[in-house]
Amino acid sequence: MAVTEARAASRKTQARRPAPTAPPLRSRLRRGATPWLFLAPALLLFLYFKFIPMAEAVRMSFQEVRPFLGNTYVGGENYAEIAGSSDFGAAVWHTVVLAVATTAGSILLGLALALLLEGQTRSLWFVRSVVFLPVVTAMAVVAEVWRVMYYPAEGGALNSVLGVLGLGPSEFLNSPDSSLASIAFVGIWRGAPYDMMIFLAGLAGVDRVLYEASAVDGASRWRRIWHVTLPGLRPVFAILLTLAAIRGLRVFTEVFLLTNGGPDGSTEVLLTLTYKLGLERNELGVAAAGTVLLFLVLLVLTVASRLRRREVR
């Protein structure tokens, strides 16, 4: 009896409930599900092609991976093997050198380009577009063009230019002494115009009143750049530095195509090494350990840069 009474009572309260303040459960559920329905494709794709692979890398890094035979747990052996190998140490060093050289070169050249090409004239607009072309060209194309440009004999395109200047001929990619620098140069050639565009956006945001004030004070052009323009660009520097450092650490395509780590291992970087370990020598567990280590470094850098940016704000 009590149950039916309660039911009747609840039916009554339901009927009495004013519709606009509390919509029926079904439509509330539907509204709650709506954002997730819109997000589902992205989340599923990320799960399959980003997060599961990452988890799989962590799992594989603790195993000896043997296709068809089943994997066996080996603890930290893969980490010990990769961290202890001289190849890995060399690859870390090459990666860091390449990242630092490319980042610094791109930022300095990008800033110079931005200062030289700032302005509203039609010819400037044209030159800026042309200078930007390497950025939109696929890296594989860039690498193949530079392989041809770097032809190490006297008649090679770049060696001809050096010859006019009374230099060379250089071996470029063919000699362990110049191979890493040659790759860094290609990175700068493609990275500087990108940085230029970001700097140009920053330059547009510098207060013109400050320029006028410094002109009234009789400051020279260089003093103005040093004391007004560069301080105004400080946030841009911070962004480009972290962005480029993170990108520099995951360099792969240009090294793979220009030298594939050679000659004599002089340009082996982290990702060409893990690619070779994992996909050519089939040491998947060791390669996965290398992947996880790189991932940890990227994670630390990314979090640090985000925290710093929050401070700047």
Partner 1 sequence: MRNETALGLAEARGPWARVLRFVLYTALFMVFAGPLLALMVGAFTPTVDPTQFTLWPDRLSLDNLERAVDRNVLDYLLNSFLVVGGGLALQVLVSVFAGYALARKRFRGSAVVLVLVLATMMLPEEVLAVPLSVLLADLPLLHVSLVGSLVGMIVPVAAWGFSILVMTEFMKEIPKELEESARLDGAGEFRVFWQVVLPLCRPALGVIGIFGFTMIWDQYMLPLLVATDPAQYTLPLALRSLRSDDQVGIGVLLVGAFLAMLPSVLAFLALQRSFIRGLTSGAVKG
Of 259, 264, 199, 206, give the one whose Cα is nearest residue 232: 206
The Cβ of residue 229 has, within 10 Å, a number of other Cβ atoms equal to 20
Residues 14-73 that bind partner 1 (CB under 8 A): 32, 34-36, 38-39, 41-43, 45-46, 48-54, 56-57, 60, 65
304 part of the interface to partner 1, by CB under 8 A: no
Q: 32 or 70: whose CB is closer to partner 1?
A: 32
197 part of the interface to partner 1, by CB under 8 A: yes
The Cβ of residue 240 has, within 10 Å, a number of other Cβ atoms equal to 22
117 part of the interface to partner 1, by CB under 8 A: yes
What one-letter code names the amino acid at 225?
I
Distance from C-alpha of 185 to C-alpha of 177, rounded to nearest angstrom:
14
Q: How far is the CB of 261 from partner 1 (least distance, A)?
A: 14
Q: 90 or 230: whose CB is closer to partner 1?
A: 230
DSSP 207: -
Among 151, 169, 175, 219, binds partner 1 (CB under 8 A): 151
77 part of the interface to partner 1, by CB under 8 A: no
Distance from C-alpha of 218 to C-alpha of 134, rounded to nearest angstrom:
40
The Cβ of residue 134 has, within 10 Å, a number of other Cβ atoms equal to 18
Give the contacts of 109 (CB within 8 A, at least 6 positions apart). 188, 192, 195
Is 256 within 8 Å of 183 (Cβ atoms)? no
What is the number of H-type helices and E-type strands within the chain?
16, 2
Q: 11 or 66: whose CB is closer to partner 1?
A: 66
Q: How far is the CB of 265 from partner 1 (least distance, A)?
A: 20
Q: How far is the CB of 186 from partner 1 (least distance, A)?
A: 10
CA 162 to chain centre: 32
Q: How far is the CB of 271 from partner 1 (least distance, A)?
A: 5
Token look-up 């302005």 returns 119
291 part of the interface to partner 1, by CB under 8 A: yes
Q: 144 or 177: whose CB is closer to partner 1?
A: 144
175 part of the interface to partner 1, by CB under 8 A: no
Q: 84 or 155: whose CB is closer to partner 1?
A: 155
Give the contacts of 180 (CB within 8 A, at least 6 positions apart). 94, 97, 98, 101, 266, 267
Q: How far is the CB of 181 from partner 1 (least distance, A)?
A: 17
Pick the stretch among 3-11, 84-92, 169-177, 200-208 that binds partner 1 (CB under 8 A). 200-208
Residues 219-238 that bind partner 1 (CB under 8 A): 221, 224-225, 228-229
